Structure 1
């Protein structure tokens, strides 16, 4: 059970903050908590009604969509099913960059400017309105409560986004202290800095952690190396998001913190798409999010087949995200979850398209096929694989004294078995591997896939 202060924060303090921000978060979350138990057909009826409202609003108030609908003779009033979305083209990063102002609703006010990290080159700049923020916060809040924790429970956040870190002024720090949440910046992960993180975690005794799986698992492994226990603090759950969660990371976190790991999938651009429940399913926030899975030709695939995840966010009337290509690869589930929630399931999230590599003969391989070669070698502390071209792949390694230099040959031969005998594999031993500008860490970066798909 939550303690008295947690109940005060979640029931009084946080709702007051949201009301002062003109966010209807409490009502939205309560509606979501009610609807999650509805039969899936009833949830999808709500989804369709909200889709009609979004399309109608976009056709009337958003210059880009008003012109697009006219050119296609598309009438939102004639929409009868989610399949009617397929009459519309995809929204891509390139389209957003070219139509930044025209995507803004003419009656929009109070829009906040956001951007993605731009790890593959050029950042994406877009805008988010109050409705979108409200619904995203409510969706995350609902998922938090699935795990017997709530806003106001002591929390450690391991994050690296410049937006969050740049906002650490006195007001933000005071608010975080009231909410009992503390930020540990994920940019610098030196041994000395991680020692400080461990001291703070033990002092705070958080009920939950939230952040990048790569960063929190790094802290966990460092704790094991130092002989520092973290499984005696009463941590109930580790929430991870914003990167692919690998099985070995989940195992490390569960072992070191002595609690379950809850995966979350989404992005600053696409919103909170899916959250893991205690029964293990990734439930789509279907009240707000329509998910389509498409093949390389843009054809919508049925549940059970892997393809690119395309998202329509239904709470984006001020700056619509309609059929937005995320660049991520996933699979929709075909079965309901044992937890009893009617929310549809995202069965697999295979990672970004840039988490895949291309062999010399054109075969698409998941980056895990290379990750496993490096990860299991003795003495490898961290690594990064960069596929520069079909002809060249580079590997950065951070190693300790137990690393056998002869294993460099194992890496080269293993990579060539998968990518092709003619591929040049350069292995470089480095003292540290920098995170992306956002603070995230990526094991696999394929510039070949980027170029092929034109993703920024």
Structure 2
């Protein structure tokens, strides 16, 4: 929303805010589910039972077309891939250069194949603290939602069925908080959006009470937030009604065994995971048998060790077919996966994944707001230019230290203020914030970068 629209929304009464949310969704869904969306849905539904060989043939064809498109339309890939013999052949994929996040960020203008104002922009905060502005074509977005909807449809979900959504939307004003009302409802599409910015022990009873009263059929969103609600219910012996929720679909964060166990046991349902990324990574989806499958029709998955040699366990380097606006070719996402031998009898013949080893979700804590998860912290970069990387360190409940690597050519006091405003929306006004600008934020001994370093977890009771 622009500033004017945000001001109108914030000053509106509760029922008008609900209406604005519904109107926003009507416009968004009209774009998302029009045009080629139905073709994509039919394609993925028809291809659900293909053999592995048939899936690989489709993958090979889509790879060829995608590489040729990138060479023809992207200045960056025209320079880098034209030097390689037959780059469009999937057999030669290891001859193509690997692109990491920093390389993509530094060359993003040349990577784009379309003007930003003709595409759909995804402003990714990024869990490593690096900001990216990815541009999709309209068909990219429609195909990605078709894949996601095909996955969820396997478990009965359809748009319009009553859903509780825990996302990064900040939809509350002070009146809502004073009334202990931490949600907004789209009554047209039957979606209730619960705030993920106010996960505090003093508020959790209102979340859970409303969730029980609302009786959603599905839960979608940040698993760390649902996890806190479930833990509160368990700790206070508040039983969740049986046969209410048909499935839980987590987004944006890594699912640990503990999170899965708590969510499934408390809400008395099954959790079905899927992996992608806001940059546009190809999909990994979970089936009815709780096995994870690569979706070969969405891209090429390379699992590489530290020597860039194919391995069963290692970092994921992906080529994503539905990123025509900002092609991702041999893109080092920064996550790790482990492949699994064998097949599954669910009917999906795509290769199996034993585990997605991505970054374990972390959080910072504010006495005023409660736990602020990794997904919400990473979104502090939205609307901000010139921050190359940032890290939040918390050594006490009263203080946060923010380390920032900045681009002197882009970063100004204006963007510092936007960043601080975004952060304050998440942590509240009481906690003290100190910003320190440094040349380089050190990585961990493992070589990984951590966006959040919380050193007081053992002191936090929620």
TM-score where L is the length of structure 2: 0.69
Deviations 1:116-158 (A, max 9, x none): 3244333223222212211111111011111122222100011
User: Is it true that 1:49 corresponds to 2:57 in the alignment?
Assistant: no
1:15–1:291 Cα change, 3 Å: farther
Report the Cα distance in structure 1 between the residues aligned to 2:371 and 2:116, rounded to whole angstroms: 46
Q: Per the alignment, in what secondary structure is the counterpart of residue 110 of structure 2? A: coil
The 2-side partners of 1:127 and 1:41 are apart by 32
* Corresponding residue number in structure 2 for 1:289: 299
Calculate the TM-score normalised by the size of structure 1.
0.70
The structural deviation recorded for 1:257 is 0.6
Q: Which moved more, 1:233-242 or 1:84-93?
A: 233-242
Q: Return the alpha-carbon distance in structure 1 between the equivalents of residues 232 and 195 of structure 2.
A: 16
Question: How far did residue 395 of structure 1 move?
Answer: 10
> 1:179 aligns to what SS in structure 2?
coil
Which residue does the alignment assign to 1:58? 70
**What residue in structure 2 maps to residue 449 of structure 1?**
444
Whether contact under 8 Å (1:139, 1:272) holds in the other structure is: no
Q: Per the alignment, in what secondary structure is the counterpart of residue 118 of structure 2?
A: coil
Tell me which residue corresponds to 1:378.
none
Q: Verify: 1:344 aligned to 2:351, yes or no.
A: yes
Q: Distance in 2 between matches of 1:431 and 1:226?
A: 27
Q: Is 2:154 the counterpart of 1:142? A: no
Return closer, same or farther for 1:325/1:335 CA change in 2, 3 Å cut-off: same
Q: Relative to 1, partners in 2 of residues 1:124 and 1:339: Cα closer, same or farther, differing over 3 Å?
A: same
Q: What is the 5 A alignment of 1:23-38?
A: 23-38=35-50
Match for residue 278 of structure 1? 288
Pair 64,196 (structure 1): closer, same or farther in 2 beyond 3 Å? same
Structure 1 pair 211–319 and aligned structure 2 pair: CA distance change class (3 A): same
Q: Secondary structure of the equivalent of 1:37?
A: coil
Question: Is contact 1:131–1:316 with CA below 8 Å preserved after alignment?
Answer: no
Q: How does 1:49-88 map to 2 (within 5 A)?
A: 49-70=61-82, 72-76=83-87, 79=89, 82-88=90-96
Contact 1:135 1:288 survives alignment (8 Å): no
Shift in CA distance, 245/433, structure 1 to aligned 2, threshold 3 Å? farther
Instruction: Quickly say closer, same or farther: Cα 1:204–1:453, change in 2 above 3 A.
Output: closer
> CA 1:306/1:432 → structure 2, altered by over 3 Å: closer, same or farther?
farther
Q: Quote the residue 2:414 is aligned against.
A: none
Contact 1:18 1:24 in 2 (8 A): no
- Check 1:22–1:165 CA distance in 2 against 1; reply closer, same or farther (3 A cut): farther
Q: Is the 8 A contact 2:123 2:131 kept in 1?
A: yes
With over 3 angstroms needed to count, the CA separation of the structure-2 counterparts of 1:199 and 1:19, relative to structure 1, is same
* C-alpha deviation, 1:26, in angstroms: 2.0
> How do 1:325-336 residues align onto structure 2 when only pairs under 5 Å count?
325-336=332-343
Larger displacement relative to structure 2 (246-255 or 196-205): 196-205
2 CA distance for matches of 1:90 and 1:343? 24
Maintained 8 Å contact 1:59/1:76: no
Q: State the 1:430 CA deviation.
A: 4.0
Root mean square deviation, CA, Å: 3.8
- The C-alpha deviation readout for 1:263-304, integer Å capped at 9, x for no partner, is 121211134521211111112222112111011122222xxx
| 1: CA distance, partners of 2:161 / 2:266 | 20
Hey, which bits of structure 1, 4+ residues long, moved more than 6 A?
13-16, 381-384, 431-434, 436-439
Provide the residue aligned with 1:248 in structure 2: 258
**Deviation of 1:186 (Å):** 1.0
In 2 relative to 1, CA 215–34 (structure 1 residues): closer, same or farther, beyond 3 Å?
same
Cα distance, 1:343 vs. partner?
A: 2.1
Q: What do the CA deviations read for 1:62-90 (whole angstroms, capped 9, x no partner)?
A: 111111123x234345x1xx332111111
Distance in 1, Cα, partners of 2:40 & 2:331: 23
Structure 1 runs not aligned, ≥5 long: 1-12, 167-172, 357-366, 368-380, 385-393, 397-427, 440-445
Aligned residues: 361
Q: Distance in 2 between matches of 1:59 and 1:205?
A: 50
Task: Give the drift of 1:114.
Answer: 2.0
8 A Cα contact 2:198 2:371, kept in partner: no
The aligned runs of 1:164-243 (5 Å cut-off) are 176-232=186-242, 234-243=244-253
Taking a change above 3 Å as real, the CA distance of residues 194 and 175 of structure 1, as seen in their structure-2 partners, is: closer
Q: Which residue of 1 aligns with 2:101?
A: 93
